[in-house]
Every structure is written in structure tokens, then in C-alpha cells.
Structure 1
Amino acid sequence: MSDNNILKDFLVETKPTQVIWALQDKASEDWVVLDSPSFENTDVMPLWSNSVLAQQHCIDEWSGYVPCEISLADWFEFWVEDLNEDAVIIGINWQGDDAHLEMELSEFTQALAEIESLK
């Protein structure tokens, strides 16, 4: 699947729910952030458009993690600034080292802003 299609599918699935998914450690409440397989000296936070895709990764070294939802409102209010300060990029609908799209935080956040439902 092309990078453009990965992002498009992510946004189509996220728009009606207004929720994205990440993995959080059950005990420490830390979030999964790992070394980027594509960019040297860069951390990436994998995100998914639904809990089923996220749950598939709660194995091996992530077996102590659970999918946790992040509303788009919370993403914009709390997450963007912290991730930007840490220079973290985003892994979209992460599938591991084989198939993944990594984006700059600003590009990803702009794409989310275009589908956010303001209430």
C-alpha cells in the first residue's frame, strides 16, 4: 500500500470516531515510543485508527501494553506540544518494520485538523 493510501485509510477510519489509538503500559502508564526503523536517531510513536489494529501489537515486548484511545481534541490540546518538544515522529497504522508510514508530527497533525469535528 502506498504512503498516500495508508494516510488516507487512517483518516477515513478516524473521521467518524474522532479517536486515534496508541499503546499504553498497564502498570507504568507509559506509552510506546520506539527507535524509528527509517530515520536514524529519531523516535516514533505508533498510532492506529482502531483498537483492533492496535491490539494486534500487544505481544512480545509489548505484551504488557493495552490499546488506549486518544480523542482528537486531546491530541491537539495535550499531545502535540509534548511530542514536538521531544522531536517524536508518528507511525501511522503501524505494522512493524515491514509496512509502515512515518510522518513528521506537524504533517500528521495538519491532516487530523482537516477531519476534526468541532463541537
Structure 2
Amino acid sequence: MQIEPLSDDFEHNCARFLPEAAAQGCVWALEGNEGFALCESVKYPQTEVMPFWSQREFAEIHVEGDWAEYQVVPIDLEEFMDDWLTGMHEDVLLVGINWNRELEGIEMEPLDLLEQLEQELR
């Protein structure tokens, strides 16, 4: 099945994240030898963002350049909601949602995403 690629419409890419992650039961991230991929926030100086994608293919696009040695890994949605998002909140990290090829997209507070995922799964 052909997956519609992410676009320059960040709101649309973000809106796709919830139902696609819920349908798969996982989200996708990039993991390297020293941990998971992080970027500097565009919106908040001196804050880091950890990007996640709703489809494996979206994450695979970013295994290049600085992240060429990273692996695309699934994170169980329940674990993501119960452990990751609360931990990221405590560590003052933001969540990057379905960023496009240029690493552009929505940056969100982890607890806001948690609330949206809980609503999606009701």
C-alpha cells in the first residue's frame, strides 16, 4: 500500500499522526549509539526536540547526514504514552510530530500530545 508522503502543511502532517499511530499501535523514532535523535527547537531557544513519526517510512527518510548511523525503531504506543511523554516533560523536551524531509513541522509539549492521544484512543 502506497503511503501518502508528508507535505509542507505542518498542521496536516500533525493531524495524521494521531490516527496513524493509534492504528499501528506504535510511533517511530531514530536511535543512535548515544541515544535518540534530538534537534534544537525553532520556537524555544536552548530547548531540544525529539522527533517522532507515525510511519516507519517517514522516519527512514532522515537516516542520513548527522543521523546516518541511526536506526529506525518502533516504540509501543502504550509505553510512549505512559513512560516517554511524561519523562520528556520532566526532562523539558518537546515532541516533534511527523516532521517532513526538511525536519520542519509542529513542536508540541509532551503532555499536550498525551492528552490528544488519550482522546484519539477513546
TM-score class, shorter: 0.7 to 0.9
Deviation readout 1:88-111 (Å, 9 max, x if unpaired):
011101126563111111111111
Cα distance in 2 between the residues matched to 1:45 and 1:87: 11
Match in the other structure for 1:9: 16
5 Å-filtered alignment, 1:65-84, equals 65-84=70-89
Give me the CA root mean square deviation: 1.8
1:33 Cα deviation after fit:
1.6
Structure 2 gaps, min length 5: 1-8
Of 91, 96, 105 in structure 2, the residue corresponding to residue 91 of structure 1 is 96
TM-score w.r.t. the length of structure 2 is 0.83
Deviations 1:3-55 (A, max 9, x none): 2x222111121121111011001x34x11122112221111000000110001
Distance 2:91 2:24 in 1: 27
Output the CA distance in 2 between the equivalents of 1:51 and 1:98: 15
Unmatched runs of 5 consecutive residues or more in structure 1: none
Distance between the aligned counterparts of 2:18 and 2:26, measured in 1? 10
Q: How does 1:1-119 map to 2 (within 5 A)?
A: 1-3=9-11, 5-25=12-32, 27-28=33-34, 30-95=35-100, 99-116=104-121
Q: Distance in 2 between matches of 1:96 and 1:36?
A: 16
Higher mean displacement: 73-82 or 90-99: 90-99
Structure 1 pair 8–68 and aligned structure 2 pair: CA distance change class (3 A): same
Q: After superposition, give the CA deviation of every residue in 1:56-78 in whole Å (9 maximum; x if it has no partner).
A: 00000000101111111111232
What SS class does the counterpart of residue 29 from structure 2 fall into?
strand
CA distance in structure 1 between the aligned counterparts of 2:95 and 2:101, rounded to whole angstroms: 13
TM-score norm. by structure 1 comes to 0.85
